[in-house]
Amino acid sequence: MRSAVVMAGEVRPPELLDEPELILEDGEVYRNPTEVKMSQIVLPCHANHCGELSVGQLLKWMDSTACLSAERHAGCSCITASVDDIHFEHTIGVGQVVNIKAKVNRAFTSSMEVGIVVSCEDLYRNRQWKVCHAFATFVARRTEAGKVQLKQVIPRTQAEQMEYSIAAERRRMRLIHAEIINDLLMSECLQFEDAVPAERTRVESVELVLPPHANHQVSTFGGQIMAWMENVATISASRLCNAHPTLRSIDMFHFRGPSHIGDRLVLKAIVNNAFKKSMEVGVCAEAYQGGEPLRHINTAFMTFEVLDQDKKPQTLPRIRPEPVDGKRRFQEAIARKKVRLDRKYIISCKQSEVPLSVPWDPSNQMYLSYNNVSALKMLAARNNWVLTSEKNKVSLYTLEENHVLCFKVETHVAIAAEQVFVLLCDLRRRHEWDPHYKECEVINHADEDDTIYRVVTPSVSKGGKVQDFILLASRRRPCDSGDPYWIALRSVTLPAFPPTEGYNRGEVVCAGFSITEEDRCLTKLSYYNQATPGVLPYISTDIAGLSSSFYSAFASCSAFLEENKDSLAAVPSAASGEPHWETV
């Protein structure tokens, strides 16, 4: 069993940050009001054939803890709506203690995101380690008064602020998940000699939902359903490899409907595709009572490996899919593998492990956009910025951590936030106020939220080469009232635009604007940049106090915004490939 990760992480996960305790006015240590903790010692009845905690049992405990956290915030009954991807990293043995902590990261209208962190404790060696973290969405059930309107979560600490901000990005990714899979369905079914017929791996099992399987709302525990699904998926995987498989990950899934006491739950599993070292098993749950037709409850996709004595993945036999539906499942499994790789290497890695410039193509566009905005939100949420200097109502802040220098420039403008956003989100106009932008052209309209630009900047030294950057600009409007507008920038690579002679190719790892409405006509404008070797020469003299070019640039920015606040601003449109004109 291995550790959970979901579309987040993108940078170091906030719950791993060493954050000092927050002391309240009454002297008490702050604790999130939605936080719920569970500790369980792993007994033989919880273990699988290897003497390790079964994933199904862990999923039940995680679901219970998260549900209690959601209900503590909502003040009413809640049901599991979905669970994001889970990737398991470590095993938990019999006799060890599982510690689960859940808290609500953000509430929307009637749904909320709950963050779950699982750690393991070895009582005999006095050791603890993180096992997994995951994100689940819960929905508040209707009451007699009607649909529930959830109260907002108020983040108090730096880690809470990061999770609150990025929760909006994760929600956006959940809504477009199915579209991404459909866009990738272009693979052909290859034929292999000695391939195992997929039909041999088919498993069907039925479970009767009894009172011990239900929660306090008399609905079947979501965690119980996930445990039953994991059981039939494991049997299916075993039939392909004739060995005991190890579950490595569970893809994002949604509960399509409820199940209740007395339901017969029909669970079906089959190996969709076998890759060299891993296989994907599809499993669905359907319910019925009496003679009624089957109701679809849930579908999930689980990735298994078979480990040798050295805990290394073994080579697996290939699968021969059935005609029609089998071939469709075979192709979808390839698409989901591509998605998992994108998430692992683009979204889930630490910022220090991400190359400065990441290859862009339409299939990973959504994940690069997600990472782009999430990295900026996490940088903006840091609370240890140091004011370096201030001039003409423009403030320059720095943040130096782990040998990385970041800076923030902040000012206020007497213009509505939406007007500021529309005027700044097209980089082709930035040369009108920023002397560091010599030229700027659009080279790809990805969609209405994302555009790729080529930017040329002047040389920082006399006689030196000019620099160019290939930048992905990702734009976000507020998710809720009080949220900022965001314009996030990061470097990407395109095969059609390699480095060229006469230019030094610069890199931007994380930069952009946060635009916050403080009053109807007063906006706080913040610019962030994680300095890279290509960017540092432009700002080092300002940080050292030897220059004031940034103050001049932001004074020019304020003047540009004032002069153009009543004009039309061009925003690149993905559909037409031409600028889309918005009235401000």
Q: What is the 3-state secondary structure (H, E, C) of 534-575?
A: CCHHHHHHHHCCCCCHHHHHHHHHHHHHHHHCCCEEEEECCC
Q: What angle do CA 512, 489, 407 make, to 5 degrees?
A: 40
- The DSSP element (H or E) to which 75 belongs, if any, is none
pLDDT at 296: 94
Sheet-wide strand order for 203-208 = 86-87, 246-250, 295-305, 279-288, 264-274, 203-208
CA 405 to chain centre: 25
Q: List, in order, residues 6 or more apart from 428 with CB less than 8 Å away.
A: 440, 441, 442, 453, 570
H or E element in which residue 258 lies: none
Tokens encoding 281? 């098993």
Phi and psi torsions of 233, nearest 5°: -65, -40
Task: In whole angstroms, give the CA distance from residue 363 to residue 371.
Answer: 14
Reported pTM: 0.77
The angle subtended at Cα 115 by Cα 112 and Cα 116, nearest 5°, is: 135
Give the number of other Cβ atoms within 10 Å of residue 32's Cβ. Answer: 21
pLDDT at 197: 92
Establish how many alpha carbons lie within 13 A of residue 210's alpha carbon, considering only the half-sphere containing its beta carbon: 4
pLDDT at 29: 82
3-state secondary structure (DSSP) of residue 438 = coil
Backbone φ and ψ for 391, nearest 5 degrees, come out as -155, 130
C-alpha closest to that of 296 among 335, 253, 329: 253
Residue 572 has a pLDDT of 47
Distance separating alpha carbons of residues 71 and 138, to the nearest angstrom: 9
DSSP class of residue 533 equals T
Q: Report the distance separating Cα 42 and Cα 58, nearest Å.
A: 10
Contact of 542 with 531, CB cutoff 8 Å? no
- Tell me which residue of 389, 368, 370 sits closest to 378, measured CA to CA: 370
pLDDT attached to residue 551: 80
Contact 92, 150 (CB under 8 A): no
How many Å apart are CA 479 and CA 260, to the nearest integer?
35
pLDDT in 10s for each residue of the chain, 584 residues: 433 323 333 333 444 334 566 777 677 888 899 999 999 999 999 998 888 999 999 999 999 999 999 999 999 989 999 998 888 888 899 999 999 999 999 999 899 999 999 999 998 888 998 888 899 999 998 777 777 889 999 998 888 998 999 998 888 888 777 666 666 565 555 566 678 999 999 999 999 999 999 887 788 989 999 999 999 999 999 999 988 898 988 988 889 888 999 999 999 999 999 988 999 999 999 999 988 899 999 999 999 999 888 888 999 999 998 888 888 888 888 878 877 766 655 555 444 444 567 788 887 788 889 889 999 999 999 888 999 888 888 898 988 877 778 889 999 999 999 999 999 999 999 999 988 888 999 999 988 899 999 999 887 666 677 889 999 999 999 988 889 999 999 999 998 898 888 888 888 889 999 999 998 889 999 999 987 665 566 565 555 554 567 788 888 999 999 999 887 544 444 444 444 434 33
DSSP bridge partners of 387: 397
Virtual torsion, Cα 396, 400, 404, 407, nearest 10 deg = -10
Query: 542 is written with which tokens?
Result: 């300002």
Residue 263 and residue 220 in contact, taking contact as beta carbons nearer than 8 Å: yes
CA–CA distance, 344 with 337 (Å, rounded to integer):
10
Element (H, E) at 121: strand 111-122
Q: Token pair of 195, please?
A: 């391939």
Which residues contact residue 324 at a Cβ distance below 8 angstroms, ignoring those fewer than 6 apart?
Answer: none
Distance of alpha carbon 225 from the chain centroid: 25
378 neighbors 401 (Cβ within 8 angstroms): no
pLDDT of residue 366: 83
